[in-house]
Structure 1
Amino acid sequence: MKQRIESVDLLRGITIAAMILVNTPGDWGSVYAPLLHAEWHGLTPTDLIFPFFLFIVGISIYYAYKYKSNTTGTYKKVAVRSLKLIGLGLFLNIFTPIPPFFEALDTVRISGVLQRIGIVFFITAWLYLNCNWKTLLGITFAILLGYWLFLGFVPLPNGTAPTFERAANNWSNFIDLKVFGKHMWQPDYDPEGLIGTIPAIATSLLGVLIGKFLDSEGLHKAIKLIGLGVLGIVLGYMWHLVFPLNKALWSSSFVLATAGYGTLILGIIYFIVDVKGWHFGAIFKYAGMNAITVYFLSSLISKIFYLIPVGENDNIHSWLYKTFFVHDFLPANFSSLSYAVVVVLCYLGLGLYLYKKKIFIKV
């Protein structure tokens, strides 16, 4: 089990590093295309990162609660952890490093990455504690099918036909606007909106099921994981023909394809680390052991760097970027990426430091 969890920690650490990489370019106007999200429909490498994390949350839930019963104490721990995640996410949205030290409450964003993780964690853990694997599989299928039918075929209250486009008659955008109003990432939609959290639960449930598969006995497990991953990818792209791959909507095709990619990559790591014993990338594993802490600090410090001014025309972020990374002989995209890579290395170093000090902060 230790080796299996090590494989998951490695994938989690790689995912966190990738998340920081795409979130902290030197210049948002100079970014290589694979390091940007799809504008609406479609799937880029960057679009894989958040679903990978939720997928790993599901695997971790399987191992964390494998021997725990559905007692009041267990539910309390699940609820407390969920509330901590949601609270940290809200803090990131509200906090500002300059007076009055909080964003305007009438427009502050309510949803976010950590908020979605907290909600998905709570519901997935509750389902895992109360359902067998066959029921979990059925719930996952029902979520994916029901979400497609609802978004694609149920008319809106005004009688107009629904659409999957970025428009007011998109059910996801319609509900988010009604519930959140001005408290959204963009005026017309939020990538971590309310209704998209439902299929995100399916992503985590698929992680639970893969966790169970990892914990089972059997030969050629790595090959089977790779096969399951390929199957998920194929099914996701087939569904894409009628329900487009879309991160903002967290479409059912997106769930299958991204979980498929996650399973495929996990299978490859499992083969390298657990079957062949070729250990690599320990620096990522260390960051994975304090994943939420590393992600939270990277987001908080990035926000501080963007908001604290330096001189008349710069902030800490832009000053560091222009001073150390921008050179006439380097392409702008390369300079921007170099800044992001250095930031990632700093947080990987933090993960290594915490590991050596045996500090594991459980949120």
Structure 2
Amino acid sequence: MKRVQSVDFLRGFTVVLMILVNTPGDWNHVYSLLLHADWNGLTLADFVFPFFLFIVGISISFVYKNKKGKANASVYRKIFIRSFKLIALGIFLNVFLPYFPFIKIEAIRIPGVLQRIGIVFCIVSILYLSFSKKQLLYISFFMLLGYWLWLAYIPLPNGNLPTLDRGADNWANYVDYLLLKGHMWQPDYDPEGVLSTLPSIITTLIGVFIGEILVSKIKQKLILLTTIGVCLVITGYVWSIFFPINKALWSSSFVLVTSGYATLFLVIFHYLMDNKGYNFGNLFKYVGANAISIYFLSMVFANSLYLIKVDSQISIHQFLFETFFVYDGIAMQLSSLFYALIVIGFYILFAYFLYKRKIFIKV
């Protein structure tokens, strides 16, 4: 199958956004757009993870399209192995980065970005191989509806009515605290927790549906995709009146709004790159070719700069930022952004090096 340039572009663009969000020069001076919403709401940073899962879904539809209904043990074994690798890499980041060289098993965070990607990839791949498109649509609808009813209306075991606020009477937090006590990002919630993984499966399934349309022979597919994207966004915002847009909860409205925007974003670049032949996205495509590897390396390298000290007080990260990016007359937020942009430039060059030498690290 001919490569879909816009999908490669969107994958790389999303990883670049991940690095931009994760590597500011100073966490105390970051533009609000690049910080996650405190609770309800959307910022640019909140689009990054759902966009990536959306692309995972598109990739699943491409890779397993000809294996639906006839997958053998070898196919499932490869799915499980890849999922295990992703989860293991995520656990490694949680073990190595915060605690090296003194590993504190009792305080290791279990959830994480790569862990969720691994789990969701496994579940969605199996669902895609096992069920028809109509069945998957039913699964998606009832899971989003059921998730809302569960979080908003089913009383907690202690008899208290649930809330959608951050705190003890939130179902997502209750389940995480019950299963992951001491192993969460924060004591009162984890943005990649157990319960919120369920609706993230639907984000990926929507990517599967979009991927199938993208490579289909349907006439006027861009109009169809645009219509789907607009409907997802509108439905999500309407639903947000009752179930607020919330990344930490991965609320049903969050699923629809972010998936809708991802679809519309993809439509624009599919028209420009695959239909009109504009080839302006190579830099992002280089990153997309080794997306997981670049993301993993960026996390290891960035956090290592915090761990390694120039002296007893100053880390290499702080030394580099304050020496080369902080100047009188330049706002700290701008300096912090410049640092992140330089980091992005480094990883784009590294991705280019890998791409030109045909080095593609599979996870």
- Structure 2 length-normalised TM: 0.97
Query: In 1, Cα distance between the equivalents of 2:328 and 2:223?
Result: 48
Q: Secondary structure at the match of 2:110?
A: coil
Aligned equivalents of 1:201, 1:346: Cα separation in 2: 32
Shift of 1:19: 0.4
Correspondence for 1:38 = 37
Give per-residue Cα distances to partners, 1:226-245, cap 9 Å, x unaligned.
22211111111000000000
User: Aligned ranges for residues 55-74 of structure 1 at < 5 Å?
Assistant: 55-68=54-67, 69-74=70-75
Give the counterpart letter for 2:51 in structure 1: F
Structure 2 equivalent of residue 83 of structure 1: 84
1:190 aligns with 2:193: no
Q: Is the 8 A contact 1:43 1:246 kept in 2?
A: yes
Q: Which residue matches 1:168? A: 168
Distance 2:98 2:333 in 1: 29
Quote the Cα distance in structure 2 between the aligned partners of 1:28 and 1:226: 37
Correspondence for 1:107: 107
Residue 147 in 1 paired to residue 147 in 2? yes
1:160-199 deviations in Å (ceiling 9; x for gaps): 1001000100000000001000100001110000000000
Give the residue type in structure 2 aligned to 1:65: Y
Deviation at 1:218, TM superposition (A): 2.7
How far 1:102 moved relative to its partner? 4.9
Deviation at 1:275, TM superposition (A): 1.5
- How far apart, in 2, do the equivalents of 1:339 and 1:226 lie? 36
SS at match of 1:329: coil
Aligned counterparts of 2:285 and 2:40: Cα–Cα separation in 1: 32
1:250 equivalent to 2:275? Answer no
Matched positions, count? 361
Q: Which residue of 1 aligns with 2:12?
A: 13
SS in 1 for 2:53: helix
Q: Secondary structure in 2 aligned to 1:95?
A: helix
Instruction: Return the letter of the residue paired with 1:203.
Output: T
Partners of 1:79 and 1:73 in 2: how far apart? 10
Following superposition, the deviation at residue 103 of structure 1 comes to 2.8
Matched, 1:23 2:14: no
Distance 2:97 2:144 in 1: 38
Counterpart of 1:95, as a letter, is F
Cα deviation for residue 66 of structure 1 reads: 1.3
Deviations 1:22-80 (A, max 9, x none): 10000011111110100000011110000000000000001111122321000000000
Residues 96 and 102 of structure 1 are in contact (CA less than 8 Å); yes or no, is this contact kept in structure 2? no
Deviations 1:107-144 (A, max 9, x none): 11000000000000000000011111111111111110
Mapping of 1:1-363 within 5 angstroms?
1-4=1-4, 6-68=5-67, 69-96=70-97, 101-363=101-363
Structure 1 segments of 4 or more deviating over 6 A? Answer: none
**What secondary structure, in the 3-state scheme, does the structure 1 residue paired with 2:243 have?**
coil
C-alpha separation in 1, matches of 2:133 and 2:348: 35
Structure 1 contact 192–248 (Cα < 8 Å) conserved: yes
Asked whether the equivalents of residues 26 and 339 of structure 1 are also in contact (C-alpha less than 8 Å), the reply is yes
Q: CA, structure 1 residues 61+322, in 2 after alignment: closer, same or farther (shift >3 Å)?
A: same
Q: In the alignment, is the contact (CA less than 8 A) between 2:97 and 2:300 conserved in 1?
A: no
Letter in 1 for 2:356: K
Using the alignment, how far apart are the partners of 1:133 and 1:103 within structure 2? 45
SS of match in other structure, 1:310: coil
Shift in Å at residue 224 of structure 1?
2.4
Partners of 1:98 and 1:307 within 8 A in 2: no
Gaps of 5+ in 2: none
- Counterpart Cα distance in 2 of 1:38 and 1:97: 24
Moved more, 301-310 or 116-125: 301-310
